[in-house]
Amino acid sequence: MKKIVLNSSLILLLFLFSAFSFHKFYVGVYQVDYVPEKRMLQITSRIFIDDLNDAIEKKYKLKTNVGTEKETAADVTLLKKYLSENFLVKVNGQSKAIVFVSKETEDQNVVVCYTKITDVTKIKALEVSNTLLIDWNREQQNITHFLINGTKKTVLFTESSRKEVLKY
C-alpha cells in the first residue's frame, strides 16, 4: 500500500512539474568569433523562425516566411535589413558593417544566419548592441558568446540590457 501511495505521489508531482514546463521561452543564441588570420569577426545567429517572422512583420508591417518553404527573395532581403539594424558592432570605437554570408534552417524551427565583419586587425574593445526580437517581445533574451583573442565571454542581452562594451 505504501508503495502505491508513493508511486501515485511521484506521478502526480511529475505531472504538475511537466504542466508548468510547457511555457514558451524566448531566446536567441549568438556566437561571435575573432579569426585573426582572416582579419575577420564571424557571427552565427540562431533564432526561432516563428519569433523572427513575427518581429520582422511587426517592424516592417509585412508578412514574411523566412526559414519556411514559402520564403521569397523579398523575405531574405528583409531578414538582412533586420539583422543589420538590430545587431550593431563597433571595433575599437569604430562602427563596422556586418556582411550577410548565408543562412540555413535547423530542425525546422530555427534559422541559423552566418554574417561577418572583415578588415579587423586587432581588437582592444568591442561594443555590441543586440536588440534582435527584443522590440517585438519584452521577454526575449539574447545569449551572446564571444571568443576574442583567446578569451571567452558571454553576455545576456535583454530589454533592459541592450548594449555591452567588452575590453580585451
Q: Residues 56, 82: contact at Cβ < 8 Å?
A: yes
> What does DSSP assign to residue 40?
E
Mean pLDDT by groups of 10 residues along the chain of 168 residues: 44 41 78 98 97 97 97 98 97 97 95 98 96 94 97 96 95
Residue 115 C-alpha cell reads as 554574417
**Interval 49-85: pLDDT, tens:** 999 999 999 999 999 999 999 999 999 999 999 999 9
Predicted model pTM: 0.84
